Amino acid sequence: MKLEVIKAKALTWYNITAMDHDGIHYLRENFDFHDLDIEDVLSKNQRSKMDYYDEYIFLVLHFPIFNQFSERIEIVELNMFVGKDYVVTIHDNRLKTLKDLYEECSDDDNNEKEEIMSSAGRLLYEILNTTYQSSFPLIDRVGWEITEIERELFEEGDTDDIKDRLKDIMLVKRNIMRFRRIIQPARVVVMQLENKKLKFISTHYDIYFDDILDTIEKTWETLESYKEIVNTLHETNEALINHRTNNIMKILTVFSVILLPITFITGLYGMNLRRLPLDQSPYGFEFILLGMFVLVLIMLWYFSKKRWL
């Protein structure tokens, strides 16, 4: 367990990273939290939720981060206990915006420190607002990836040169799916936070939480739009690949049809029989080659006339 504490006039911020059983023991010794909430802190598969009590609320929220190595959006969990004069945040230290906010509040020379930590409601708003605002660069990245796929699908000149973009499309689809898994339950939690009247959080902050809800709704609407676009790109990619496959099959079929009579002729003359046409002619081989060449030209002319080529 790693514990950092910031104290202000009206509020104390307990920031816990690398949570372990020592941290659980610390929470039980210093706070009157429900045992089920403390057990949820160690659980790895918690859904986003808000549990409210007379003296505090317990929040489980998830946020997106981008892994540069795997190029995937990963889910980070943040657990929060919010009381009248304290806020406890528990996470794995991967949320950069939360770390920046904590460093900002830990700076004694920062004039905004007292304002940010003026109450539990204000600090809760700052944490949620800065963290959800950080999702916009990820949204922009997903949008850029979609634009690149769209450009590659529609702006390449020859259909035969089009590459299969299925892997890129599925990667974007997975990132959108994970993003949606994060944002959808967050809408419900923040809505509950806005509507639930808590004696240790002033109703003055309802409009602030509504602002966070607007941010989440904008993110959700953008993800819905991206989802439809990616589905369309997936269908377009499949159509282009099928068109390319059909062209290849058409060319192979034409070659097969052209080789069919030639194979018949060579097979016929391959039988060691007498009285075959041109069998005794000194120029029989040349005449047969010429005949096969003329036959190929006639078939190519016919296929071209029928626009099969």
Give the whole-number percent of the chain exceeding pLDDT 70.
94
* Residue range 284-289: mean pLDDT, rounded: 79
On the question of pLDDT at 81 being above 60, the answer is yes
Structure tokens at 104: 């900002």
Please determine, for residue 54, whether its predicted confidence score (pLDDT) is greater than 80. Answer: yes
**Cα dihedral sign for 285, 288, 289, 290?**
positive
Average pLDDT, the chain: 86
159 pLDDT tier (thresholds 50, 70, 90): low
Digit-coded pLDDT (tens) for 89-144: 999 989 999 999 999 898 877 778 888 888 999 999 999 999 999 889 999 999 99
Q: Are 138 and 168 within 8 A, CB to CB?
A: no
Q: What is the pLDDT of residue 110?
A: 76
Domain spans in the chain, listed from the N-terminal domain onward: 2-243, 248-305
pLDDT per residue as tens digits for the range 198-235? 777 888 888 899 999 999 999 999 999 999 999 999 99
pLDDT-derived band at 20 (thresholds 50, 70, 90) equals confident
- Per the listing, tokens 């009590």 go with 53
The CA-based dihedral angle spanning residues 208, 210, 215, 219, taken in that order and rounded to the nearest 10 degrees: 160
For position 161, what pLDDT does the model report?
52
User: pLDDT tens across 28-50, in order?
Assistant: 999 999 999 998 888 876 788 99
Long-range contacts, stretch 175-178, CB < 8 angstroms, 24+ apart? 175/72, 175/73, 175/142, 175/145, 176/142, 176/223, 176/226, 176/227, 176/230, 178/64, 178/72, 178/73, 178/74, 178/75
> For residue 265, how far is the Cα from the chain centroid?
59
Reply yes or no on whether the pLDDT at 254 is more than 80: yes
Mean pLDDT of 268-273: 72
Reply yes or no on domain 2-243 having CATH 3.30.460.20. yes
Specify the pLDDT at position 6.
92
Structure tokens at 167: 């892997």
Task: Identify the bridge partners of residue 74 per DSSP, sorted by sequence position.
Answer: 65
Quickly state the pLDDT bin for 291 (edges 50, 70, 90). Answer: confident
Is the pTM for the entire model greater than 0.85? no
251 versus 139: the higher-pLDDT residue is: 139
Exposed e or buried b per residue across 281-309, where buried means at least 16 C-beta atoms within 10 angstroms of its C-beta: eeeeeeebeeeeeeeeeebeeeeeeeeee
Rounded to an integer, what is the distance from CA 240 to the centroid of its chain?
23
Superfamily (CATH H level) for 248-305 = Magnesium transport protein CorA, transmembrane region (1.20.58.340)
* pLDDT of residue 160 exceeding 60: no
